[in-house]
Amino acid sequence: MIELFNLSKRFGNLNAVHSLSFTVRKGEIFGLIGENGAGKTTTLRMLATMLSPTSGTAVLSGYDIVKEPEKVRGKVGILFGGESGLYDRLTVAENIRYFGELNDISIDEINERTKMLADTFGMNDFLHKRAGKLSKGMRQKAAFARAIIHNPDILLLDEPTTGLDVSAIREVQNFILEQKRQGKTVLFSSHTMSEIEKLCDRIAIIHKGKLVAIGTIDELRQQNQNLSLEELFVRLVGEEHEA
């Protein structure tokens, strides 16, 4: 479970995230949508304890991001951006192991989980090849494995499908659905409405750092004359513009 309590972040005079409060329930896929610069990445970075909030806080799996950031990190796996962010000169197994070790997982458990993840994602052929030598698709799988080697309760994904081709996008979407099946909580940001509709149990629309709407897609559509998600997004964000 992820609970935000008036979570705020200022950069100088800019309120990048302004008093966000909402709850992502355990086992739910939750979509965060908003225009460029709406504050999605900043919110996810605060939840991952990379940035500290200017005010407010959030509680992830029972741990407060301000008071117990290290414990929060142990419960969270992240995948930021379409790029997979692996160390090119390390093999896939070494990449996974590095993140496992830094998350205080025992070597035995890392080996066991790596084997399991290699089977799940079909990585056995390239597990011991250097990440830099792999295709984009293979790297994507390695990045998934890296993100969940420590079996986190919560996954924070920032635009995980941006810049990927159709089949890689499907891989990511299947990965997200599989994580839900395993009872994980997934919070992800996206600009692709079809993807949001396909995956999300609930969504939050943010604009200029503020929460504009929250609920299931059906709920939001009912409140807005059954507009399509795209139309209602433009309308909500547009209304805020004029206000």
Partner 1 sequence: MKLKHIWIVFNKELKDIVRDKKTLFSSILAPIIIIPILMTIVGGSTQKMTQEMYEDITVALTKNSDTESARNFLNSLAELDENIIVADPVDDPWQAINDKEVKLVIELENGFEEKLKNSEPINLTLIYDNSLARSGGAVGTFQATIDRLNTALAVEKLNALGINPDILSLVNVERQNIARTKDGNQFLMMILPMMIALLVAVGGIPAATDLVAGEKERMTLEPLLTTRSSRMSILIGKYLTINLFSFASVISTLAGMVLAYVINPAALSLGQGEIGGFSVEPLAFVLSLLITLLMGMTFSGIQLAISTYARSFKEGQTYLSLLIFAVMIPAYSTMMIMPNDIQPHMFVLPIMNTISAFKLILGGVVNYAELVMATISSIVYVILALLLAAWMFSKEKFMFRS
Ligand X SMILES: Nc1ncnc2c1ncn2[C@@H]1O[C@H](COP(=O)(O)OP(=O)(O)OP(=O)(O)O)[C@@H](O)[C@H]1O
Chain residues in the site for ligand X (CB under 6 A): 11, 14, 16, 34, 36-42
Least distance to partner 1, CB of residue 21, Å: 22
Residue 43, interface with partner 1 (CB under 8 A)?
no
What is the tally of helices (H) and strands (E) in the chain?
9, 10
Interface region with Mg ion, contact rule CB under 5 A, candidates 39-47, 125-133, 192-200, 212-220: 39-47
User: With CB cut-offs between 5 and 8 Å by kind, which of Mg ion, partner 1, ligand X, none does residue 38 bind?
Assistant: ligand X
Q: Which is nearer to Mg ion, 41 or 185 (CB)?
A: 41
Exposure letters 158-194 (e unless 16+ CB within 10 A, then b) = bbbbeebeeebbebbeebbeebbeeebbbbbbbeebe
User: With CB cut-offs between 5 and 8 Å by kind, which of Mg ion, partner 1, ligand X, none does residue 179 bind?
Assistant: none
Residue 141, interface with partner 1 (CB under 8 A)?
no
What Å distances lie between residue 241 and 37, 192, 208, 235, 236, CA to CA?
A: 14, 21, 9, 10, 9
Q: Of residues 205-224, which lie at the interface with partner 1 (CB under 8 A)?
A: none
User: Mask: binding to partner 1, 157-196, rule CB under 8 A, as x and -?
Assistant: ----------------------------------------
- Joined together, the tokens standing for residue 103 give 């998350």
Interface region with partner 1, contact rule CB under 8 A, candidates 18-26, 77-85, 110-118, 134-142: 77-85
Residue 190, interface with Mg ion (CB under 5 A)?
no
Structural contact between residues 6 and 21, judged by C-beta atoms closer than 8 angstroms: yes
Q: Measure the CA–CA gap between 211 and 196, rounded to whole angstroms.
A: 17
